[in-house]
Amino acid sequence: MSTAWSWVVIIGSLGSILFFYVVLQLNRQTGKESGETTGHIHDGIEEYDNPLPAWWYWLFVLTMIYGVGYLIWYPGLGNFPGIADWTSVGELETDQEASRARYEPLFAKYRQLPVAEIYKVPAAVKMGQRLFANNCSVCHGSTAAGGFGFPDLIDDVWTWGAEASTIKQTILHGRKAAMPAWGTVIGDQGIRDVTAYILSLNNREADPDAVAQGETLFGNFCIACHGPEGKGLPALGAPDLTNGIWLYGNSRSRIEFSIRNGRNGEMPGFKHKLGENKAHILAGYVYGLSR
């Protein structure tokens, strides 16, 4: 916050308390003598002009004193940090440290188990299930079945490889995949031809002439990532184009869109959020989903 805005907040906060105090004082002194009325009469009922009861008045004063003390103790006045030096980030870190101290030993005891064995331990599976629900389900779904642009984790088709160590690497460090757009390179007809070739790789109906042209274009532009047979390269995150199981759909229009405009996908790394022990258990849980 800039210095100017900081002063706006300080003056606005303290000024409002002072304003309410002045209003309170004025209302306290409006009564003259017991029995005086304001002159307001409705249905035969007269409104008395008595001062506020003492307990009510002092209750207001105490709340104002408390408010000023609160703003001094905590960072409530612009850039002033407060004499307690409290921050929400510090509070969060304290809670996280306490949580780690309490629960980390529970996670650490499974660290000695291979990732490929964790899904066989019921207690570890329950931990992994909760970790997945809290950190992964927002993208992969509560059942891990994925969705458009998000991979299904319960089948046996994995773009980056399904080995236990690979899954853990993915969770810790994330993945970033990018397919360039080829629309301006091969043109609309080239896109249709390559699409026809990809359809033929999946034994789907396609024009033979377009397939032949598409095979040539595929050999010139696509095999570097997807391989000469279109089987993909897990090391690059290039998907297998022969199984019809793709993140962005396998219809002709979806394939053409991907070739024309490219695709960009990214999974964030969870190393700093989860730590090694939790990631180890989560990797074992995910590894077991397809088993």
108 and 54 together in one domain: no
Question: Concatenated DSSP letters for 207-275?
Answer: -HHHHHHHHHHHHHHTHHHH-TTS--BGGGTBPPSSSS--TT--SHHHHHHHHHH-EEEEE---HHHHH
Cross-strand pairs, 121: none
Q: Which of 16, 46, 73 is the last residue of a domain?
A: 73
Q: Report, as an integer, the average pLDDT of 58-77.
A: 94
**Nearest to 226, CA basis, from 258, 254, 203, 190:** 258
Is 80 within the bounds of a domain? no
List, for residues 31-44, the tens digit of each pLDDT value.
455 567 777 888 87
Q: Same domain for 134 and 154?
A: yes
Same-domain check for residues 283 and 234: no
Q: How many domains does the chain have?
A: 3
Give the rounded percent of residues in the chain with a pLDDT score beyond 70: 98
Statement to judge: residues 150 and 281 lie in one domain? yes
- What six digits make up the tokens of 215? 């095979």
* pLDDT of amino acid 33: 59
Nearest to 74 by CA among 63, 66, 82: 82
Same domain, 275 and 145: yes
One domain, residues 151 and 195: no
In the predicted model, is pLDDT for residue 60 greater than 80? yes
- Asked, for residue 20, whether it belongs to a domain, the answer is yes
What pLDDT, in 10s, does the model give residues 245-281?
889 999 999 999 999 999 999 999 999 999 999 999 9
Look up the CATH number of the domain holding residue 254: 1.10.760.10
Check whether residue 165 and residue 28 sit in a common domain.
no
**Where a domain ends, among 73, 102, 124?**
73
Identify whether residues 15 and 54 lie together within a single domain: yes
For residue 100, the enclosing domain spans 90-174+269-289
The 10s digit of each residue's pLDDT in 123-139 is 999 999 999 999 999 99
10 domain residue, yes or no:
yes
Percent of the chain with pLDDT over 90: 75
Tell me, yes or no, whether 185 and 256 share the same domain: yes
pLDDT computed for residue 32 by the predictor: 55
Does residue 79 lie in a domain region? no
110 pLDDT higher than 90:
yes
Q: What is the arithmetic mean of pLDDT over 211-227?
A: 96
Neighbouring CB atoms inside 10 A of 228's CB total 10
- Claim to verify: residue 96 and residue 170 sit in the same structural domain: yes
Residue 143: inside a domain: yes
Residue 99 lies in a domain: yes
